[in-house]
Structure 1
Amino acid sequence: MRTPRLSRPLYLSLCALPLLGLLAAAVFAPLPFSIAFPGSTTDVLGKDKGGEPVITVTGAKTYPTRGQLRMTTITATSPDTTVRLPDVVGSWFDKGEAVMPRDSVYPVGDSVKEIREYNDEAMRDSQSAATAAALNHLKLDPEKVKVDLRLADVGGPSAGLLFSLGIIDKLGADDLAGGRVIAGTGTIDAAGKVGAVGGVPLKTQAAKRDKATVFLVPKAECSEAEAELPSGLRLVPVTTLSGAIDALGALRSGGKVPSC
Structure 2
Amino acid sequence: MNRRIVTLLAALAPIVVLGVVGTMVTVPYVALGPGPTFNTLGDVDGKPVVDIQGTEVDPTDGNLNMTTVSVRDGLNIFEAFGLWASGSNGLVPRSEIYPPEKSKEEIQQANTADFQQSEDSAELAALHFLGKPVALTVSKVTPDGPAAGALQEGDVLVKIGDTPVTTITGVQDTVGAIAPGTAIDVTVLREGVETVVPVTVGARPNKPESGYLGVTPNEVPDVPFTVQFNLADIGGPSAGLMFTLALVDKLTPGELNGGKFVAGTGTIDSDGEVGPIGGIRYKLIAASEAGAETFLVPAQNCDEAKQNAPDGLRLVKVDNLPGAVDSLESLNTGGDAPRC
Give the structure-2-normalised TM-score: 0.63
Who wins on radius of gyration, i.e. which is larger?
Answer: 2
Match among 234, 242, 246 for residue 154 of structure 1: 234
Residues 60 and 107 (structure 1 numbering): CA distance in 2 closer, same or farther, change over 3 Å? farther
Match among 135, 148, 154 for residue 127 of structure 2: 135
| CA–CA separation in structure 2 for the residues paired with 1:238 and 1:58 | 29
Q: Retained in 1: the 8 A contact 2:83–2:89?
A: yes
Residues 138 and 104 (structure 1 numbering): CA distance in 2 closer, same or farther, change over 3 Å? farther
Unaligned residue ranges in structure 1 (runs of 5+): 1-23
- Give the 5 Å matches for 1:10-29: none
Residues 102 and 120 (structure 1 numbering): CA distance in 2 closer, same or farther, change over 3 Å? same
Q: CA deviation at 1:143?
A: 1.8
Q: Retained in 2: the 8 A contact 1:72–1:206?
A: yes
Match among 297, 314, 336 for residue 217 of structure 1: 297
Corresponding residue number in structure 2 for 1:116:
108
| CA–CA separation in structure 1 for the residues paired with 2:70 and 2:105 | 17
Residues 104 and 63 (structure 1 numbering): CA distance in 2 closer, same or farther, change over 3 Å? farther
Output one character per residue of 1:182-215: Cα deviation in whole Å (capped at 9) or x when no partner: 0001000111011111111110110011111100
**Greater per-residue helix proportion:** 1
Q: What secondary structure does 1:100 align onto?
A: strand
Q: CA deviation at 1:177?
A: 1.2
Q: Retained in 2: the 8 A contact 1:108–1:114?
A: no
Identity, in percent, stands at 40
Residues 100 and 243 (structure 1 numbering): CA distance in 2 closer, same or farther, change over 3 Å? farther
Output one character per residue of 1:92-140: Cα deviation in whole Å (capped at 9) or x when no partner: 5432101234454346863332222111111101100011001110011
Residues 170 and 195 (structure 1 numbering): CA distance in 2 closer, same or farther, change over 3 Å? same
| CA–CA separation in structure 2 for the residues paired with 1:249 and 1:70 | 17
Residues 196 and 58 (structure 1 numbering): CA distance in 2 closer, same or farther, change over 3 Å? same
Output one character per residue of 1:7-62: Cα deviation in whole Å (capped at 9) or x when no partner: xxxxxxxxxxxxxxxxx9xxx7853x3211101000000111x1211111123321
- Give the 5 Å matches for 1:52-201: 52-78=47-73, 81=74, 91-106=83-98, 110-141=102-133, 142-144=221-223, 145-201=225-281
Say whether residues 1:255 and 2:335 are aligned partners.
yes
| CA–CA separation in structure 2 for the residues paired with 1:247 and 1:95 | 31
| CA–CA separation in structure 1 for the residues paired with 2:62 and 2:253 | 14
| CA–CA separation in structure 1 for the residues paired with 2:313 and 2:253 | 27
Corresponding residue number in structure 1 for 2:30:
34
Give the structure-1-normalised TM-score: 0.81
Match among 218, 236, 244 for residue 316 of structure 2: 236
Corresponding residue number in structure 1 for 2:41:
45
Q: Retained in 2: the 8 A contact 1:34–1:83?
A: no
Q: CA deviation at 1:247?
A: 0.5
Q: CA deviation at 1:167?
A: 0.4
**Greater per-residue strand proportion:** 2
* One-letter amino acid of the counterpart of residue 42, structure 2: G
Q: CA deviation at 1:241?
A: 0.8
* One-letter amino acid of the counterpart of residue 123, structure 1: F
Match among 282, 285, 290 for residue 205 of structure 1: 285
Q: Retained in 1: the 8 A contact 2:27–2:80?
A: no
* One-letter amino acid of the counterpart of residue 117, structure 1: Q
